[in-house]
Amino acid sequence: MNKKADEKYLSIWMFLIWVIIGVSIVLGVLMFYSVQGDVRQIEAQLLADKLSLCLISNFNYAEILKSDFDIYSKCGLNKDIFDKGGLYYFNINITGENSGQLGKIIFGGNNWKTECDYQFIKEESDREKNFPQCAKQDSFVVDSKTNKKYTVSIVAASNQR
């Protein structure tokens, strides 16, 4: 019953396995964090859709043009997100059936409109990576009170990376 435990030495193979495991963990972490997901186009389209649905349902032109009209509360948007950082923009143009531009709601700086116009004329593969990604949506609506026809054009942009 006089047993002795054999002392095991780490061989070169054990070190090699440790190196392979360590390198694979480092490579996996580097690959995971090097991929950039660009969701700016999707965010811009979702913002345009949300604004469009909000304004088109029970459209009332007189209510929208009031000075106390709050698009944030009407459409369920968080104003803090729009005020902080300037990452989201939107522009709403309302035109009448037989007349020119009747109303306009803008949130954002002056540069983003030009950048969005540039994005719309370029093909998707040629778009600038540093510009905000934009979405445009045009809708034809009828005023719920006066039965007049209007066109609501919404341009939304996201520059959140």
DSSP characters for 60-76? Answer: -HHHHTSTT--HHHHHT
Sign of the torsion formed by the C-alpha atoms of 95, 100, 102 and 108: positive
Distance (Å, whole) CA 137 – CA 63: 21
Domain ranges of the chain: 40-158
CATH class of segment(s) 40-158 = alpha beta
State the Cα torsion 116-121-125-130 to the nearest 10°.
-30
Residues in the chain: 161
**Which of the four pLDDT bands, split at 50, 70 and 90, describes residue 1?**
low
**Which of the four pLDDT bands, split at 50, 70 and 90, describes residue 11?**
confident
pLDDT of the residue at 23: 97
Q: Is the pLDDT of residue 21 over 90?
A: yes
**Do 93 and 153 meet the contact criterion of CB atoms below 8 Å apart?**
yes
**Do 108 and 89 meet the contact criterion of CB atoms below 8 Å apart?**
yes
Q: Is the pLDDT of residue 7 over 70?
A: no
Tell me the per-residue pLDDT of 95-137, one tens digit each, with 9 for 90 and over. 887 776 677 777 766 667 777 877 777 766 556 677 788 888 9
Tell me the per-residue pLDDT of 45-97, one tens digit each, with 9 for 90 and over. 999 999 888 888 878 777 877 778 888 888 888 888 877 777 888 888 888 87
pLDDT of the residue at 101: 63
pTM of the entire structure? 0.71
* 136-145 average pLDDT score: 85
pLDDT of the residue at 57: 83
Distance (Å) of CA 133 to CA 12, 55, 73, 159: 54, 22, 25, 6
Distance (Å) of CA 147 to CA 56, 71, 93, 94: 13, 22, 19, 15
State the Cα torsion 113-119-121-126 to the nearest 10°.
160
Sheet-wide strand order for 133-142: 101-107, 88-96, 149-158, 133-142
